[in-house]
Chain A
Amino acid sequence: MERDGLIRAMKSILGPEGVISEREQLRSYECDGLMNYRVIPELVVLPETAEQVQRIVRTCYEEGIPFVARGSGTGLSGGALPVEAGILIVMSRMRKILEVDIPNQRVVVEPGVINMWVSEEVAEDGYYYAPDPASQIVSSIGGNLAENSGGVHCLKYGFTTNHVMGAEVVLPDGSMVNIGGGKAPDAPGYELLGAFVGSEGTLGIATKITLRIVRKPEAVRTLLAAFKDTEEAGGAVSGIIGAGIVPAAIEMMDALCIEAVETAVHPGFPQVGAILIVELDGPAAEVENQFEQTLGICEENDASEIRVAEDDAERALFWKGRKAAFAAMGRISNDYYVQDSVVPRTELGKVLKKISDLGEEYGMRVANVFHAGDGNLHPLVLYDNNVPGEAEKAEKLAGDIVFTCLEHGGSLTGEHGIGEDKKKYMPKMFTTDDLNVMQLLRCAFDPHQICNPGKIFPTPRLCGERPGPFRMHPVQKAGLAENL
């Protein structure tokens, strides 16, 4: 189908306001939160109902046109990067909260609903939505679903996949399925919902999502502890986890980060080698007791200063400082390359040292902010794009950091996803067989490979091929036939 025909078809589904076809405007959709990759989509469409999404996808299926779904466009791995000659389906107009069901502790939302809105909606009833990525004030639930977003509270509370109960999904052939229980748990059949969450938009488009909401804890206590360096802070973390305490959140920032954040949002953090923000929540008696223990452990590990948040405002300020970390980097450096690696917590100290050594080797600054409790680190390689060659050096350093993490038993990505950005590293973590088997799943959902193609897997597989070792056909084995 040529372009004009496609535009007409889309306008007949969505009306003229729902279709963007002018080049200058298409430009503003050429990348998501990761600016390093840009592709101008052929067309951008903004559906408002699930039925419209179905019709759009159906048209794409029939015409063999690839499509990519996008929420708020804040992803950090290029997951919403448009595809050459493809359509970008922007879900930001589907943003109604459809149902709030407090007795069953669930909320049903459209995918364009912003993460924070869910918590705001149920706050008065004493509930909140637990997965809280730093982008929660702008990232959409649909996007959170695609990336299986985490957040600072995911050590204790889990990720998006632990808080999604059901979804209505438009499959790449335009048909609609309901996966997951939605209202009731344990729906018979395969755990398709579990496979769908975190599939980075390559298996279909969710048009209605049932989320689990959680009762606000009785007590919350937050402290900020200052340490000489990340090693000392790491010791405190080990001590806390070792004592059997499961903090709601435990975050670490190093000196560069602290500096940037102070310039940006002025939380008044002590300017030291490393700070730890620890939050405990739960039943009051338990929290009180474990908080005392935590304070003790921080002291044992030579914390130079410990601040306890006196009220909600102060607590919010601690978190504001932490959550603004990435964007605040803009204040101390022209550009930065954010990584999202995970290592087992016990390897954290070694890996941090290695990263610092690498940084010195390359002569580049690396700031570190990370979820100390689960080993998810975000090294931020700082560089200046205006200096020739720096961008490449930064990328190479980032790659070395990734390899280091893999060597220590970690993963390529803890929360940001593979998307476009980390495809090339997949063979370092998975064998060909591993990747092929994953793609079996993709073939089951998207046999024509039109749904966000080119993401996650470096080498797409045709759906006709079978993975696995070569083996002789039984007839051949019996000597009755030969392989040509």
Chain B
Amino acid sequence: MDTRKKNISLEDLQRIVGEDHAREATPEDAIDGVQPSFVAEPGSVEETSELLRFAADEGLAVCPRGGGTKSSLGNPPRELDLVLSTARMVDVIEHVPGDQVVRVQAGIKLQDLQERLAGSDQMLGIDPPETRSGATVGGVVAANSSGPRRHRYGTIRDLIIGITVVLSDGTVAKAGGKVVKNVAGYDLSKLFTGSLGTLGVIAECNFRLHPRPEAARTVAVELESTQAAGEAAQVILHAQLVPSAVEVHWSDSSKLLTLLIEGIPPGVEAQSDTASYLLRGFGEVRTLTDEELGALGPSGAGEEVAIKISAPPAELTGVLDSVLGACSRRGVAPRVTGHAGIGVTFLALSGADDEAYAQIVEELREIWSRRGGSVVVREAPPAFKERVEAWGPLGSRLELTRRVKEKFDPRGIMNPGRFAGGI
């Protein structure tokens, strides 16, 4: 690590972004207990570029921030001086409904974008739970956030078609374009997906859109056992249904497999019938009301550690069993949800101590990395993160990952230490 001069003042920043748009940081701006000095909000790509150039020259560690909903993703930062907020870059640059493409500035809240698109009966096919808490589009891309609808529409990586980024030395570059089919040059849009701000700041994004479905219905089956969960999921996967989401919910209060079916009314009708027919062998089948759906929503307060397990989708039963086993042995009652058709399972733990949680993560990591999967700690107190590394091993990819980081951010000022591989 080279020596860094950090004797910069607020005025230095205000000179770039304007007096009202740079301030001293407060405790709320801390990330995993690491307190930055300043927060700056550039209003354009040019200001972002100048800001980063300045930061690079002064050796400031920078964390780009959208809605701040994923601030606790990853390991604690090694150091942090400046939070670069995209809060002012919220425009829809261009929306051509006939092309099913939208171009936006990265700071726009996903919620706002969806509302705007709904006016043309279109949507961006991504529904991360953080939408409600103010997640921005840039943040969704940087964190590779996704929700249940990834079953049908893919993750943000499958929806992004163009990007403008600002690198740590101020270089502004774009890749992709505003057409869905484009193989000119490298697909940097994808490279930046999930990069958690470690390669640069995402300033603008272009996405492909989908028509907003007219009707929706959720069909659910009560599960008697984890075995039933796995088998039911397989039946649905191999049927000729096109559900928007296939979710498993497992907790003391409810054990369900739910299917979200969307489309035109006759299609929804027919598919719901088929789904009910296919699932009836596994338990009681019913349609969920809005209230019930709401109750199933993502975590409320109270859980301390959130974990994500990726495994081959056919091993759903195994995942559930391993989770329940690891937790029960330590007296923890987990709340489990998952995208049953994809192989991603979320675990919310509460009611025990860090040691127990750590053991659970280690045990699960042991099992699932051997089966080709991974276990990632999504949210946890900083102290816990000292004990357990958030991402898990990168294996043969480590070297290459480091080289990529080195090329894009040679001085290592972008979110140092937060990413996989200690980057």
Contact = CB atoms under 8 A, between A and B. Distances in A.
Interface of A: 101-105, 126, 147-148, 150, 154-155, 158-159, 161-162, 171, 175-179, 181-195, 197-199, 215-218, 238, 241-242, 244-246, 282-286, 288-290, 342-346, 371, 374-376, 409-418, 422, 426, 429-431, 433-438, 440-445, 447, 456, 466-469, 471, 474, 477
A238 B169 CA distance: 43
Contacts of A161: 187, 190
B173 A433 contact: yes
B312 interface: yes
Contacts of B173: 431, 433-434, 436-438, 467
A414 B183 CA distance: 5
Given A216-B240, A283-B242, A444-B400, 9 more contacts: A161-B187, A175-B396, A183-B371, A244-B121, A283-B271, A286-B271, A414-B181, A434-B174, A444-B404
Given A161-B187, A189-B394, A466 B267 contact: no
Nearest to B100: A241
Most buried by B among A154, A346, A456: A346
Contacts of A433: 171-173
A184 B373 contact: yes
Given A283-B271, A284-B270, A189 B181 contact: no
Contact of A426 (B184, B234, B314): B184
Contacts of B294: none
Given A345-B99, A374-B181, A438-B175, A186 B308 contact: yes
B362 interface: no
B400 A375 contact: no
Contacts of A193: 190
Interface residues of B, number: 98
Nearest to B309: A184
Interface string B173-199: 111011111111111111111110001
A155 B194 contact: no
Nearest to B53: A471
B407 A444 contact: yes
A437 B171 contact: yes
A198 B187 contact: yes
Interface in B129-167: 144, 154-155, 157-158, 165, 167
Contact of A418 (B184, B374, B420): B184
A104 B311 CA distance: 10
13 contacts: A161-B190, A184-B373, A184-B374, A188-B376, A190-B401, A215-B237, A215-B238, A217-B240, A283-B263, A290-B264, A344-B96, A345-B98, A345-B100
B58 A474 contact: yes
A297 B240 CA distance: 27
Nearest to B314: A103
B405 to A, nearest CB: 8
A185 B191 CA distance: 16
Given A178-B396, A437-B167, A286 B263 contact: yes
B238 A440 contact: no
Interface in B291-346: 308, 310-314, 342-344
A459 B254 CA distance: 60
A184 B310 contact: yes
A441 B407 contact: yes
Contacts of B101: 344
B68 interface: no
B181 A159 contact: yes
B170 A375 contact: no
B403 interface: yes
B267 A286 contact: yes
B119 interface: no
A346 B97 CA distance: 9
A417 B373 CA distance: 33
Contacts of B214: 244
8 closest residue pairs by CB, A with B: A194-B190, A286-B267, A183-B372, A285-B270, A103-B314, A437-B173, A184-B373, A468-B171
A202 to B, nearest CB: 9
Interface string B381-423: 0000000000110111101110111111010000000011100
A175 B174 contact: no
B211 interface: yes
Nearest to B154: A162
A184 B369 CA distance: 10
B266 interface: yes
A414 B263 CA distance: 29
A192 B99 contact: no
A291 B303 CA distance: 49
Most buried by A among B167, B343, B394, B407: B407
B47 interface: no
B93 interface: no
Nearest to A474: B57
A284 B394 CA distance: 44
Contacts of A285: 266-267, 269-271
Contact of B195 (A101, A190, A197, A447): A190
A188 B420 contact: yes
A150 B267 contact: no
Contact of A103 (B179, B234, B405): B234
Contacts of B187: 148, 161, 194-195, 197-199
Interface string B70-84: 000000000000000
Given A178-B396, A410-B179, A190 B404 contact: yes
Nearest to B230: A103
Nearest to A146: B183
Contacts of B170: 468-469, 471
B313 to A, nearest CB: 6
Contact of B179 (A375, A436, A444): A375
B177 A189 contact: no
Nearest to A127: B238
Contacts of A191: 144, 157, 190-195
A147 B100 CA distance: 24
Contacts of B121: 244
B408 A185 contact: no
B278 interface: no
